[in-house]
């Protein structure tokens, strides 16, 4: 790492950011790091003098790293909105209304618009008698979902007056569920609100950032050009996703095809797109290098087009990060200085983390930097293992080598976050890369000639055909048998061990040192042991679970690697299943899932099962489980005096007295198909009566191991 100082700097800074995220209350950590770092620097200054003594230089270097650790902790504290005393997170009174500005370009969803509001002031009452309330300064950001009945998509910079109070974002309520709360917390957002059209009023227009306002306008203009020139919805959706980062018009089946083929990364504007644009510009403008001041002219054109693309994407955060790194490369090349890719990447990551320390926890930031680090370290060595006479074959081999190296270094993290592995990535990625190299510059050219008659039609036609070919290649790759391994799961410990095996294995191949052989074998044995132990636990698990599924029922019986899910979820609602339940069964190692409809007599796989329109009763693993649909009125069915588990759904219980002389249960669970106010009332009454019960809405999924 001697030749890569910024790699050391960013590692120290990231360590401080991580310490703050894990231990935000341990203020002694940055103080200790600051004192140690300052002490080593002062000691080195007085001992160093005129002599270059390596131990003293090393001490000064370590001192600087300790100082950067303290800086990382301090930056994280300063950039955390929750640390501001006027943040909405600290509000203890009931918020009646608030005023805020749309801080980012709104997104269009299936039935709503997703709007991010930056709050300016709020109105609340300190006492019950104070019904008028008063306005005070307030800060924070709120995700607002508003019905499409308001008309057209809201605009960046609109000032809204909103009635009602946002609610804190729920933590994940099912095992393994995506932690949306942490995802938004890293963006400084802690609340959300669902609005009806009459709950908001536009009271002004005041964009908080004029540059972002300009970028948003360019983004909207580019969208109008693609809408007019591309035409076909499927191809338009792909172009919009790749160039503008907007997935609203992307067909869900097509998105799944890209995910299965291992090409979903191409649908998110990222450093890959900036890298493609940079490579194409370097190739097209290379003739300028030999001309007087051609190097400066080339750098100017590259920077202009590169940052114009940043504006087209609406100043997307991943594109900004990558544009910063390539800007360093362009300036260094124009100045005639050689740059190491790893050091440039480290410098880019360092300055990004100084501005936004929570980028460190972004999957995109981690994957893109890992990919660049792997390519910069291994790709040239890997390419040299084979050479071909024909230039075209060599070109495809270089693309394949890039795909292999990037996949090798990122696949553990991809499995950790997305729980699948594309088996045909080597088949799809070279074709996807080639078509992307054509599509991205062609899209930029379409924008450039959008005002030229006839020429704009030709560019739009070509763009549509390239997008169609890209969709064709990806969709047919995704339809191949066994196109993706799904349901994969890595724990943090397993992830660490996989990376130890990869890094030590590669180091062994490059250096042939015995120490790396022992490290690789030790990590591999530990990983194998962990995998065997996890499989043993999963094989012997017997779980009864009442899952959280918004406004629906979801009860599962898991026996080893097999599970039966009893639910009223519509089979066409794949998105809800994927978001709330898919990761749960993946974490449990379930590879055989049977889905049964709670409304029908369909649980034939469960022994001693009886179905009635008002209830379902079954015995499993020696336990009696009763699921109730209706209790009141004339429904006077007879049941055993005692059951082990009583699951109440669809407002079946309205008063606790309705259970008297009918059923006694050792465990009472409310799913989320009942109305929330009714469930809250029953829970309050239960506490007063001393009844122990459980609500998945308030407490998360109910999971119990049956012996």
Taking CA atoms, 626 is separated from 122, 535, 619, 646, 662, in Å, by 47, 31, 9, 5, 12
DSSP codes joined into one string, 676-690: HHHHHHHHHHHHHHT
pLDDT of residue 322: 75
* Alpha-carbon span 307 to 184, nearest angstrom: 27
Residue 633 pLDDT grade (very low, low, confident, very high; cuts 50, 70, 90): low
Tell me the pLDDT tens digit for each residue of 191-226. 999 998 888 999 999 998 888 888 888 888 888 888
pLDDT of residue 47: 63
pLDDT of residue 129: 47
pLDDT of residue 421: 82
Tell me the pLDDT tens digit for each residue of 579-615. 899 999 999 999 899 888 876 655 555 666 677 777 8
Task: Tell whether the model's pLDDT for residue 659 goes beyond 90.
Answer: no
Task: Tell whether the model's pLDDT for residue 128 goes beyond 80.
Answer: no
pTM, two decimals, is: 0.84
* Alpha-carbon span 18 to 22, nearest angstrom: 6
Task: Tell whether the model's pLDDT for residue 423 goes beyond 90.
Answer: no
Task: Tell whether the model's pLDDT for residue 268 goes beyond 70.
Answer: no
The residues that bridge with 168 in the sheet, in sequence order, are 191
DSSP code of residue 91: -
Non-local CB neighbours of 433 within 8 Å, separated by 6+ positions? 276, 399, 402, 403
Nearest to 141 by CA among 191, 75, 215: 191
Task: Tell whether the model's pLDDT for residue 80 goes beyond 90.
Answer: yes
Tokens of 388: 């071909």
Residue 528 pLDDT grade (very low, low, confident, very high; cuts 50, 70, 90): very high
Task: Tell whether the model's pLDDT for residue 54 goes beyond 70.
Answer: no
Tell me the pLDDT tens digit for each residue of 444-501. 888 888 888 889 889 888 998 998 998 888 888 877 777 778 888 899 999 999 999 9
Average pLDDT, the chain: 84
Task: Tell whether the model's pLDDT for residue 255 goes beyond 60.
Answer: yes
Task: Tell whether the model's pLDDT for residue 190 goes beyond 70.
Answer: yes
Taking CA atoms, 511 is separated from 3, 372, 375, 385, 503, in Å, by 19, 21, 18, 15, 12
């Amino acid at each position: 790492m001697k030749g890569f100082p910024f790699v050391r700097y960013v590692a120290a800074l990231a360590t401080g950011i991580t310490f703050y995220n894990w231990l935000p209350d341990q203020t002694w950590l940055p103080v200790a790091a600051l004192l140690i770092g300052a002490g080593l620097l002062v000691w080195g200054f007085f001992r160093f003098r005129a002599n270059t003594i390596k131990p003293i230089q090393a001490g000064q270097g370590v001192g600087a790293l300790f100082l950067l650790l303290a800086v990382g902790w301090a930056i994280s504290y300063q950039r955390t909105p929750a640390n501001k005393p006027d943040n909405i997170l600290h509000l203890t009174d009931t918020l009646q209304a608030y005023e805020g500005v749309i801080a980012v370009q709104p997104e269009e969803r299936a039935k709503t618009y997703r709007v991010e509001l930056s709050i300016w002031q709020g109105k609340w009452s300190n006492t019950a008698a104070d019904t008028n309330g008063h306005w005070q300064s307030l800060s924070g950001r709120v995700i607002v979902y508003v019905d499409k009945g308001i008309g057209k998509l809201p605009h960046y910079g609109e000032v809204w007056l909103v009635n009602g109070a946002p609610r804190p974002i729920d933590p994940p309520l099912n095992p393994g569920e995506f932690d949306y709360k942490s995802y938004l917390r890293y963006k400084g957002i802690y609340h959300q609100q669902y609005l009806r059209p009459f709950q908001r009023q536009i009271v002004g227009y005041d964009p908080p950032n004029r540059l972002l306002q300009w970028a948003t306008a360019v983004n909207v203009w580019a969208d109008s050009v693609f809408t007019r020139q591309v035409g076909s919805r499927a191809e338009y959706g792909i172009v919009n996703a790749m160039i503008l980062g907007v997935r609203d018009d992307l067909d869900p089946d097509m998105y799944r095809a890209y995910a299965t083929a291992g090409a979903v990364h191409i649908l998110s504007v990222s450093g890959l797109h900036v890298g493609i644009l940079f490579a194409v510009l370097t190739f097209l403008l290379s003739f300028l290098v030999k001309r007087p001041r051609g190097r400066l002219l080339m750098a100017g054109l590259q920077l202009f087009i590169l940052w114009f693309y940043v504006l087209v994407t609406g100043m997307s955060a991943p594109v900004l990060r990558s544009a910063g790194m390539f800007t360093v490369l362009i300036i260094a090349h124009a100045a005639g200085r050689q740059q190491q890719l790893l050091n440039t990447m480290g410098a880019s990551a360092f300055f990004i983390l100084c501005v936004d320390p929570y980028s460190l926890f972004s999957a995109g930031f981690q994957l893109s930097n890992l990919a660049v680090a792997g390519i910069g370290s291994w790709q040239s060595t890997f390419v040299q293992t084979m050479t071909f006479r024909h230039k075209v074959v060599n070109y495809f081999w270089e693309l394949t080598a890039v795909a292999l190296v990037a996949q090798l270094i990122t696949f553990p993290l991809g499995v950790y976050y997305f729980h699948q592995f594309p088996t045909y990535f080597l088949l799809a990625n070279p074709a996807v890369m080639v078509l992307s190299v054509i599509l991205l510059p062609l899209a930029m050219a379409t924008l450039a000639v959008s005002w030229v008659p006839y020429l704009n039609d030709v560019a739009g036609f070509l763009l549509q055909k390239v997008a169609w070919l890209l969709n064709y290649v990806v969709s047919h790759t995704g339809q191949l048998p066994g196109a993706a391994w799904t349901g994969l799961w890595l724990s943090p410990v397993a992830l660490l061990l996989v990376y130890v095996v990869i890094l030590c294995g590669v180091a062994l191949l490059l250096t042939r040192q015995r120490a790396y052989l022992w490290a690789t074998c030790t990590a591999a044995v530990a990983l194998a042991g962990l995998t065997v132990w996890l499989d043993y636990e999963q094989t012997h698990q017997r779980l009864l679970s009442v899952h959280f599924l918004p406004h629906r029922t979801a009860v599962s019986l898991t026996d080893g690697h097999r599970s039966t899910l009893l639910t009223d979820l519509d089979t066409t609602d794949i998105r809800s299943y994927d978001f709330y339940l898919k990761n749960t069964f993946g974490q449990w190692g379930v590879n055989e899932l049977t889905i049964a409809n709670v409304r029908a007599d369909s649980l034939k796989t469960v022994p001693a099962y009886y179905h009635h329109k008002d209830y379902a009763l079954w015995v499993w693993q020696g336990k009696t489980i009763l699921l109730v649909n209706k209790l009141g009125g004339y429904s006077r069915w007879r049941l055993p005096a005692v059951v082990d588990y009583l699951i109440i759904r669809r407002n079946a219980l309205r008063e606790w007295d309705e259970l008297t002389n009918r059923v006694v249960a050792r465990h009472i669970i409310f799913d989320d198909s009942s109305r929330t106010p009714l469930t809250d009332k029953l829970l309050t009454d239960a506490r007063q009566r001393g009844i122990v019960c459980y609500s998945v809405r308030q407490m998360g999924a109910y999971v119990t191991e049956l012996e």
